[in-house]
Amino acid sequence: MGRWGVSVGRWGVSVGRWLVSVGRWAPLVGCWLVSMGRWAPLVGRWASLVGRWLTSVGRWTPLVGRRGVSVGRWASLVGCRGVSVGRRVSLVGRWLTSVGRWTPLVGRWASLAGRWLPSVGCWTPLVGCWTPLVGRWTPLVGRWLTSMGRWVSLVGRWIPLVGRRGVSVGRWASLVGRWTPLVG
């Protein structure tokens, strides 16, 4: 969308790093930030997100009151370009379904129960849970684990994960020494 844009409804007109907000949209240092609630214009490196404050630190942003994609409350804005239409979010020109939470987009895609999640860093959110990813991305869906496109059921035993080994104990699964709770 660049730094200039005219839109209808929830869209606004952006001029440079400023935005004339019409609805729920706002810029973030010349870039776009997706809000699950209200939008507010940015002043400096601060922006209001659903009545709370959000600080921008380079490409990383702590989300207060909202869960971010990455470790803890930190979320990557991935070049700081994103536009939301309902629950669909475009980051770096690509589309994904946010599944009610924030999700950055970098390179590869992963499927989550028919929805799409991206790849960034070493972590990805899976319906409120976190999954360690080594090498390629591996989403956890319910009690199913997929690795490199193949699905494997986690039943509390050691199982091969396409060249790797994983173990599940109750609702926890381990991939290469790291642990994460299973969804569901």
Q: Would you state the pLDDT for residue 29?
A: 32
Residues of the chain falling short of pLDDT 70: 1-184
Strand partners, 166: 159, 175
Predicted structure pTM score: 0.14
Q: Which residues contact 80 (CB under 8 A, 6 or more apart)?
A: 28, 29, 30, 31, 32, 33, 59
* Structure confidence at residue 18 (pLDDT): 36
What single-letter amino acid sits at 34? V
Q: Are 129 and 183 in contact (CB under 8 A)?
A: yes
pLDDT digits (tens, 9 = 90+) for 167-177: 443 344 444 34
Contacts 24+ apart (CB under 8 A), 74-78: 75/102, 75/104, 76/104, 76/106, 76/120, 76/121, 77/28, 77/31, 77/33, 77/104, 78/104, 78/105, 78/106, 78/120
- pLDDT at 112 (0 to 100): 35
Tell me the pLDDT tens digit for each residue of 127-149. 333 333 333 333 333 333 433 33
Model pLDDT, residue 55: 35
